[in-house]
């Protein structure tokens, strides 16, 4: 439940039901985080409702290529449709390793919304 402020006494504005939907934390308050969703909506959520798992939402108007290695010259593993959510790891600022329903590969950071593109993850 997203709320208008950092407390249960603030009205709820949005109820999220989609698993692993990526959000960005934009402000930290004890037990609460101000977050932004892929549509740009901001609000407050209890910290225990959030996961440490990094996820990303594939963007664009057409399927995005997922490669075996972080290079367009490597073998194409599969394509991910816009709106698909995957789990992200090992970003280098340009490419990130993504897992979608058990399939893994590398996606260009410009092709998803989620993890900060300049952030290196382990």
Per-residue pLDDT of 4-33, as tens digits, reads 999 999 999 999 988 889 999 999 999 999
Place of tokens 């932004």: 36
Q: Using CA atoms in the order 119, 114, 105, 66, what is the torsion angle rounded to 10 degrees?
A: -120
Residue 116, pLDDT score: 62
* 52-97 pLDDT tens trace: 899 999 999 999 999 999 999 999 999 999 999 999 988 998 999 9
Measured distance CA(21)–CA(18) in Å, rounded = 6
Whether the per-residue pLDDT at 119 is higher than 60: the answer is no
What pLDDT sits at residue 120? 52
Report the distance separating Cα 86 and Cα 61, nearest Å: 17
Query: pLDDT of 60-69, one tens digit each?
Result: 999 999 999 9
Task: Give the mean pLDDT of the chain.
Answer: 92
96 strand-pairing partners: 107
Measured CA to CA, the distance from residue 33 to residue 51 in angstroms comes to 12
Report helix, strand or coil for 59: coil
List beta partners, residue 57. 85, 113
| 28: β partners | 33
Q: Say if residue 50's pLDDT is above 60.
A: yes
Could you tell me where the beta strands, DSSP code E, fall in the chain?
A: 2-3, 12-14, 24-29, 32-36, 42-46, 55-58, 64-67, 76-80, 85-89, 95-100, 103-108, 112-113
Q: The whole model's pTM is what?
A: 0.84
């Amino acid at each position: 439940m997203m709320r208008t402020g950092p407390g249960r006494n603030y009205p709820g504005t949005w109820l999220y039901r989609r698993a692993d939907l990526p959000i960005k934390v934009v402000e930290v308050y004890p037990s609460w985080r101000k977050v932004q969703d892929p549509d740009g909506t901001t609000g407050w959520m209890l910290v225990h409702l959030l996961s440490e798992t990094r996820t990303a939402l594939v963007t664009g108007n057409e399927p995005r290529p997922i490669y075996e290695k972080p290079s367009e010259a490597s073998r194409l593993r599969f394509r991910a449709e816009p709106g698909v959510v995957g789990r992200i790891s090992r970003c280098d600022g340009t490419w990130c390793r993504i897992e979608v329903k058990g399939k893994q590969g590398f996606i260009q950071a410009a092709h998803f919304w989620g993890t900060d593109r300049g952030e290196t993850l382990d």
